[in-house]
């Protein structure tokens, strides 16, 4: 599949060569070299790709920069809207893959018994039809990672219409209920008020904040990241106008629309955010 994508990229680059020839018939013999040039890079097997201004425009090359951003660790899990506080209802069993998670960290682990010590008083529910309670199922490992004092953000399922406004649920203050059979814990969040638009037994996606320092980390836009046929991660940097060099990066994780790098170009380095695959095709097939 990767080879097919690279071949498509190469075809697009060759199309640029043809367009360059059409734009300047008098220079047909040298149109390819005028549109793109490959130059050796000292101490590197990669080639510098130098484009003409017209070629860069036709390829739709767009740029961003290596930046620092505070990264908050989050996890998306499943949730269930309840009619009342868990004092009045049995803990529900959530049925998203058995683990209550959308990807992420969920895993089956040996469970340590949750002690039935004195429970903090749960937040009182208002009159029926006002506050909504959200039940969330987590593994013990996920519970340990959870920032327990932070609100959760609610999203509709992917096939449903999303809430018009940002919808937050506050921690209930209750200890989690243990489901020994499934080795899972159920914790609860509360959405205050009556204008939240939630209905009983509605399934939700719940974005939870995890513990950890919110330090600034080196990131690039997700579109800048390119994986070659061997699975190695690269970005194309630009040290001078219209010249692009492929540089290896080490990916720590992907958070939303950015990639957190454990190793890569220096802060402020311009990187290609649109067109990396086309540049790779030009570099590999243009030799």
Structural domains counted in the chain: 2
CATH number of the CATH domain containing 237: 2.40.420.20
CB proximity list for 223: less than 8 A, separation 6 or greater: 62, 64, 273, 274, 276
Same domain, 230 and 136: no
pLDDT tens digits, 18-58 = 554 444 444 444 445 578 999 999 998 899 999 999 999 99
Same domain, 83 and 164: yes
Same domain, 165 and 239: no
Residue 29 belongs to a domain: no
1 vs 181: which has the higher pLDDT: 181
pLDDT-derived band at 92, boundaries 50, 70, 90 = low
What was the pLDDT predicted at 250? 97
pLDDT tens digits, 123-159 = 443 334 578 899 999 999 999 999 999 999 999 988 8
Residue 201 belongs to a domain: yes
Same domain, 190 and 266: no
pLDDT-derived band at 97, boundaries 50, 70, 90 = very low
CATH number of the CATH domain containing 143: 2.40.30.170
Same domain, 195 and 77: yes
Q: Please report the beta strands in 210-274, taking only residues with DSSP state E, as ranges in sequence order.
A: 216-221, 226-227, 233-240, 243-248, 250-255, 258-263, 270-274
Same domain, 150 and 230: no
Specify the pTM: 0.57
Domain end position, chosen among 191, 211, 231: 211
User: Which residue range(s) make up the domain with 263?
Assistant: 36-71+215-285
Residue 222 belongs to a domain: yes
Same domain, 162 and 275: no
Residue 8 belongs to a domain: no
Are 208 and 74 in contact by the 8 Å Cβ rule? The answer is yes
The pLDDT > 90 percentage for the chain reads: 52
Domain end position, chosen among 167, 196, 211: 211
Q: How is residue 214 written in tokens?
A: 């919110």
pLDDT-derived band at 179, boundaries 50, 70, 90 = confident
161 vs 142: which has the higher pLDDT: 142
Q: What is the mean pLDDT of the chain?
A: 79
Residue 1 belongs to a domain: no
Domain end position, chosen among 177, 196, 211: 211
CB proximity list for 261: less than 8 A, separation 6 or greater: 66, 217, 218, 219, 220, 249, 250, 251, 252
């Amino acid at each position: 599949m990767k080879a097919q994508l690279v071949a498509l990229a190469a075809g697009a680059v060759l199309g640029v060569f043809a367009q360059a020839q059409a734009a300047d018939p008098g220079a047909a013999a040298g149109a390819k070299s005028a549109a793109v040039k490959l130059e050796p890079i000292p101490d590197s097997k990669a080639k510098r790709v130098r484009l003409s201004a017209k070629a860069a425009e036709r390829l739709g090359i767009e740029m961003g920069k290596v930046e620092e951003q505070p990264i908050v660790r989050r996890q998306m899990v499943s949730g269930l809207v309840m009619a009342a506080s868990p004092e009045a209802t049995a803990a529900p069993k959530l049925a998203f893959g058995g683990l209550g998670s959308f990807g992420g960290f969920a895993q089956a682990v040996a469970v340590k018994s949750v002690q039935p010590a004195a429970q903090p008083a749960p937040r009182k529910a208002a009159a029926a039809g006002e506050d909504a309670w959200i039940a969330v199922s987590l593994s013990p490992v996920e519970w340990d990672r959870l920032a327990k004092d932070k609100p959760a953000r609610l999203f509709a399922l992917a096939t449903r219409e999303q809430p018009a406004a940002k919808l937050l649920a506050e921690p209930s203050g209750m200890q989690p209920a243990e489901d020994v059979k499934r080795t899972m814990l159920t914790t609860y969040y509360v959405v205050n008020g009556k204008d939240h638009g939630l209905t009983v037994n509605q399934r939700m996606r719940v974005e939870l904040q995890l513990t950890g320092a919110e330090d600034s980390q080196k990131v690039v836009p997700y579109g800048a990241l390119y994986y070659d046929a061997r699975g190695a991660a690269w970005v194309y940097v630009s040290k001078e106008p219209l010249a692009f060099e492929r540089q290896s990066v080490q990916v720590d994780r992907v958070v939303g629309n950015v990639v957190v790098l454990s190793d890569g170009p220096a802060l402020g380095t311009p990187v290609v955010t649109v067109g990396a695959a086309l540049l790779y095709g030009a570099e590999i097939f243009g030799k």
